[in-house]
Amino acid sequence: MTSLNGKVAVITGGNSGIGLATAKLFAAEGAQVVITGRRQQVVDNAVREIGPAALGIQGDVADPEHHRQVAEIVRERFGHADIYVANAGINTINPSQDVTEAEYDAQFGVNARGTFFGVQKIAPVLRDGGSIILVGSLASDKVLDGHAVYAGTKAAINAFARAWALEFKARGIRVNMLSPGPTETPILKKLGVTPEDHGAFVDMMSGAIPLGRLGRPDELASAALFLASDASSFVTGVNLRVDGGMALV
């Protein structure tokens, strides 16, 4: 029997990167997986890649109405959810003096607001004894150039995780934060790393990581599986750093 057999997992931003790797692993472990994403075509492609155990829902995580719709679809289709992974996030790297109001609002809208209202709306559908995983970042602990706003959003998520671990204790729902370090995902291109610069960027980042390399999406997915499954049945309110030791230096 696989570790998530018969479970229903909802993963925001499950159409690419760490979210997609997590969705694929959860499905392979027996879960019915519901993924969300902003672009319908990308969501559809991800569903095909994950397989018949996947359902895709398009929408904007910064909009609480989207989360209400997701919860209603999950309730109608499956009756409940067992696992919720708040993974969707964006990052715009900029020195604080250059950050625009639009950049600030977008990052807090997707990362913090999206996480908060996603959990708020799914909570009534989440079965007692379930697991909530909030995807944070190394940046909430380690100062990185140009990451002030992004770090602020992830620090908020860390605070949410700690508060919710106590708020949901009566229902036996565990709430934990998963904090990736630099990971080899398509987000590198969105951050402005061109194909020509990719090798040099990876070498530079690898030099700052004690394990000497970037993380892989499947490694983050495995950590998420630990937090989602009964293997972590006595774990709640933690910040699990999967960063190759980068927070230490």
Whether 150 is catalytic = yes
**Closest to 119 in 3D by CA, of 101, 98, 103, 135:** 135
DSSP class of 112: I
26, 84, 117, 150: the active-site residue: 150
User: What would you measure as the largest C-alpha separation in the chain, in angstroms?
Assistant: 54
Contact 73, 57 (CB under 8 A): yes
Taking only Cα atoms into account, the Rg of the chain, rounded to an integer number of angstroms, comes to 17
DSSP, collapsed to helix, strand or coil, labels residue 175 as strand
The position carrying tokens 């610069």 is 197
**Residues near 105 by Cβ (< 8 Å), separated by ≥ 6?**
none
Let me know: does 133 contact 85? Beta carbons within 8 Å: yes
**Chain centroid to CA 169: how far?**
22
Catalytic residues: 150
